[in-house]
């Protein structure tokens, strides 16, 4: 391909010579839209005289045909493959839960004790269900659906329980984020949640051997994934730099 992007020289399998292709966008408007499979077809090789004695430039300036409204809607898939690390589709303001601000109205907080208890009950039930099955998807989706203030309230409500593994919500939360890292999903969201979690419960975590062990496991997977992403980003950056070099 030429440096300016006007021409493309290529050889065709089982054909003699070198074919030159021009960028059609230089001569006419080329709409950018997603196409369906039925629109994909074989392209005839360029000729000197053109097809039916029509010159190449005349073909480039042919009248535009009415385009059919054949818009193809791409399916929404959160993760194309388990081998790919995906970012979260959540709103940006969810990535940094803010400290819950209680707004006083006539001496009463807008967040009542009943509402707070309801939030904690929903969070605890989904977290316990995930711990029992080993799948925390429902808990993660619930946390992603909350506003920053509600997410902060949920994280603050986590408790160590009676000290045993079954009632230790802090332990289950760390395992939930570890499972998300293993699945390579919501990468930046798990980092943000873990940061807030440690700010809120750092003292409790440091006093519990079980929590420290779970946190060490999370750190191990986090470092592996971070190293893998750094390698992939570096490789892609090198390829792009090589392709952009005009001397190649």
Which is more confidently placed, 212 or 20?
212
Give the number of residues written for the chain: 248
177 within some domain? yes
Q: How far is CA 78 from the centre of its chain?
A: 7
Residues 97 and 151 sit within 8 Å (Cβ to Cβ):
yes
In a domain, 231, yes or no: no
Mean pLDDT throughout 79-89? 68
Q: For residue 125, is it within any domain? A: yes
How much is the pLDDT for 63? Answer: 57
Q: pLDDT band for position 92 (50/70/90)?
A: low
DSSP bridge partners of 19: 10
Host domain of residue 166: 110-221
| Chain-centre distance for alpha carbon 157 | 28
State how far the Cα of 245 lies from the Cα of 197, in Å rounded to an integer: 45
The reply to whether 200 falls in a domain is yes
Q: What pLDDT is recorded for position 104?
A: 41
Which ranges in the chain belong to alpha helices (H)? 56-60, 113-133, 137-144, 148-157, 169-183, 187-206, 209-244
Look at the chain and report how many structural domains it folds into.
1
**Is 22 domain-assigned?**
no
pLDDT top residue among 3 and 66: 3
Given a cut of 90, is residue 22 above it in pLDDT? no
99 domain-assigned: no
Q: What confidence tier does 101 reach under pLDDT thresholds 50, 70, 90? A: very low
Residue 60 falls within a domain, yes or no? Answer: no
Residue with tokens 């943000």: 192
pLDDT cut 70: percent of the chain above it: 66
Q: Does 168 map to a domain? A: yes
Question: Cα 90 from chain centroid?
Answer: 9
């Amino acid at each position: 391909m030429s440096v300016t992007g006007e021409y493309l020289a290529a050889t065709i399998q089982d054909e003699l010579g070198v074919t030159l292709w021009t960028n059609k966008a230089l001569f006419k408007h080329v709409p950018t839209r997603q196409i369906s499979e039925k629109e994909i077809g074989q392209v005839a090789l360029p000729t000197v005289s053109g097809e039916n004695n029509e010159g190449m430039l005349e073909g480039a300036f042919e009248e535009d045909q009415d385009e059919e409204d054949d818009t193809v809607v791409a399916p929404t898939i959160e993760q194309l493959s388990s081998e790919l690390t995906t970012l979260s589709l959540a709103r940006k303001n969810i990535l940094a839960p803010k400290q819950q601000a209680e707004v006083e109205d006539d001496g009463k907080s807008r967040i009542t004790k009943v509402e707070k208890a309801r939030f904690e009950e929903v969070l605890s039930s989904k977290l316990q269900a995930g711990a029992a099955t080993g799948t925390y998807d429902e808990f993660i989706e619930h946390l992603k659906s909350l506003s920053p203030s509600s997410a902060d309230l949920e994280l603050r409500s986590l408790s160590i329980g009676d000290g045993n593994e079954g009632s230790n919500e802090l332990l289950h939360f760390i395992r939930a984020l570890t499972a998300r890292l293993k699945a390579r999903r919501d990468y930046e969201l798990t980092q943000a949640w873990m940061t807030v979690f440690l700010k809120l419960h750092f003292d409790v975590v440091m006093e519990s051997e079980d929590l420290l062990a779970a946190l060490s496991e999370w750190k191990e997977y986090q470092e592996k994934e971070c190293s893998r992403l750094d390698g992939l980003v570096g490789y892609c950056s090198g390829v792009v730099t090589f392709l952009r070099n005009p001397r190649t």
